[in-house]
Amino acid sequence: MDKKILLTGDRPTGRLHIGHFVGSLKNRVKLQNEGSYQNFIMIADMQALTDNARDPEKIKNSLFQVALDYLAVGIDPSKSTIFVQSQVPALNELTMIYLNLVSVSRLERNPTVKAEIKQKAFGQSVPAGFFIYPVSQAADITAFKASVVPVGEDQEPMIEQTREIVRSFNNIYQKDILVEPEGYFPEKGQGRIPGLDGNAKMSKSLNNCIYLSDSEEDIKKKVMSMYTDPEHIHVEDPGKVEGNTVFTYLDIFAEDKDHVAELKEQYRQGGLGDVKIKKYLNDVLQDVLRPIRERREAFEKDPKAVYEVLEQGSKAANLVAEKTLQEVRDAMGINYFK
Ligand code: TRP
């Protein structure tokens, strides 16, 4: 039987952080190693350029960083095709074709894009390419006929919009060529970590991230600076566990759930200091991140090999996407000279 197809990716605008790790990377590695999918992992540099047109150098550097992060967490080029979006031209043509199936007002209603436009403070100057990136994302997914898309929950509206485009295309051109994808999300409460400052989102612009590439000292310093319970001043004071970032991280990363439960109990009663819980969290995080960092450092020493992975991956991805594009053109009857 043909394997189901999985496609996913990230915008390269910096190094990846532990929010990416729990939000999507962990699931991608898990699904990859289950062996029941054909995996395509894409570095979405074209999408990153939609709001970084003046800084292609940043995207180029980030592309390499994200490739290292992928390899470091265990995306394995012998099991997954890792490729670069801009090196697969069929994706752009599919985007143009799909743009005619989507209204401007529908794009305006995409909640993720709406939130990003607000957050990035574009004002009246939203780049048109940024505004339509959900359509280019639909091209990414459908070019590979992916049925599974492991991403963070914030990407759900993109998958919904892709499904609409697929239905619309198949319906208008009366061909069952494109495949409706499903999102694959982390378990409840496991996929979203707040920033070090307690902000709901970990994001580079807020400077509240722990990166997969952070050194042991960076991690320790960051953990020690974390937001806890502002009213927990003296060790003997009873403290709050809900909304306390240290406990939120422990719930996600600590394996010894019983120990975390004990710590919570003690913290609530009073008598457990912030330094102690932070030290424990530091130990837990160091254990998770050490092997990732070590693998990352090894790959970093051989950039040629990393680019080779991307080049081979992009070649393989090209063949698949080009084939879908020709099917799409055939279905529309616009391959005039064939
Ligand atoms: N939008 C994703 C991000 O913000 C990146 C992305 C582009 C993507 N195309 C995709 C994710 C297709 C999944 C499937 O990082």
Between CA 322 and CA 121 the distance in angstroms is: 36
Whether residue 23 is predicted with pLDDT greater than 90 in this model: the reply is yes
141 CB near ligand 1 (under 6 Å): yes
| Domain ranges across the chain | 4-192+303-332, 214-297
**DSSP H/E element including 280:** helix 274-300
- Could you tell me how many helices (H) and strands (E) the chain has, helices first? 15, 5
Between CA 335 and CA 265 the distance in angstroms is: 68
**Nearest ligand 1 atom, CA 158:** 1
Per-residue confidence band for 189, with pLDDT thresholds at 50, 70 and 90: confident
Atom 9 of ligand 1, nearest CA residue = 137
What's the half-sphere exposure (Cβ side, CA atoms, 13 Å) at 267? 24
149 CB near ligand 1 (under 6 Å): yes
9 CB near ligand 1 (under 6 Å): yes
151 CB near ligand 1 (under 6 Å): yes
pLDDT at 267: 97
pLDDT digits (tens, 9 = 90+) for 254-269: 999 999 999 999 999 9
Which class would CATH give 4-192+303-332? alpha beta
Tell whether pTM > 0.75.
yes
pLDDT at 151: 96
Q: What architecture (CATH level 2) is domain 214-297?
A: Orthogonal Bundle (1.10)
Q: What's the maximum distance between 2 C-alpha atoms anywhere in the chain?
A: 81
